Structure 1
């Protein structure tokens, strides 16, 4: 569009297309949010001492200890709980990425940004940076600045 002025009909059509993309992004984000809130993940430590359940935020919502804990030192029980919790959170991060890709699309910059945020909140060491050039192809700022 380098310096050319849009005719009113062209501007309206472009605005309608942009609004359609925004409406779809909002609907996809709502669906993703609902699906993510419903996620629960359970995991057990390899020694069979503890099983944990985490909710969609990675918070511990249930803990089951087997009777085997009576035969091991308390620090090993604590380690088993922490191991199971780490495994549950890693599985949660992966499941969250799957839900985000299914609802937002695998190439969505917004989806990648959300997945990165989820990964960081669950303690993943390094989340990928979202590429800003993907699904936000309409730059409102540059359009408003023209006149």
Structure 2
């Protein structure tokens, strides 16, 4: 068979270690995916008249306007809505970053996940314009 059983055993251990590391990384990635899917970001305007909530993909899923918004112009209110929705996206990004670091540590895959969400939250000027 093999001339050196020790070499064969060492190779088998390396394969087993690689397989275990891969399985652990897959488990942690599945866990992170579940955590991220459950996250929402929420923010309130400084005057507390607007509250926005975004889902894990950054889509606006809830908007609460205080009755006092009727005392302001539509332009002012729309600016508050946009700013508050952006702040909700920033809250979501903070949570995603935290969950990713807790779950994957300094894994390069974690950094790529966070970077992907950052790009969606802050699209480049002249791009499609909408965060997806």
Instruction: Give the TM-score taking structure 2 as reference length.
Output: 0.83
Aligned residues: 119
Q: Deviations over 1:114-144 (max 9, x none)?
A: 111121122277xxxxxxxxxxxxxxxxxxx
d(CA) in 1 for partners of 2:96, 2:109: 14
CA shift, 1:111, in A, is: 1.1
| Residue matched to 1:138 | none
Cα RMSD of the aligned pairs, angstroms, is 1.6
Q: Separation in 2 of the partners of 1:98 and 1:77?
A: 31
Which of structures 1 and 2 has the larger relative contact order (alpha carbons within 8 angstroms, sep 6+)?
A: 2
Q: After superposition, where does 1:1-40 map in structure 2 within 5 Å? A: 7-40=7-40
Deviation at 1:48, TM superposition (A): 2.5
Question: Which residue of structure 2 aligns with residue 114 of structure 1?
Answer: 113
Give runs of ≥4 in structure 1 deviating > 4 Å. none
**CA shift at 1:109, angstroms?**
1.3
Q: Secondary structure at the match of 1:43?
A: strand
Structure 1 segments unaligned to the other structure (5+ residues)? 1-5, 126-147
Structure 2 gaps of 5+ residues are 1-5, 125-132
TM-score of the pair, normalised by structure 1: 0.75
Q: 1:26-82, CA deviations, whole angstroms, 9 ceiling, x for partnerless residues?
A: 000001111111111211111322111111111100011111111111011100000
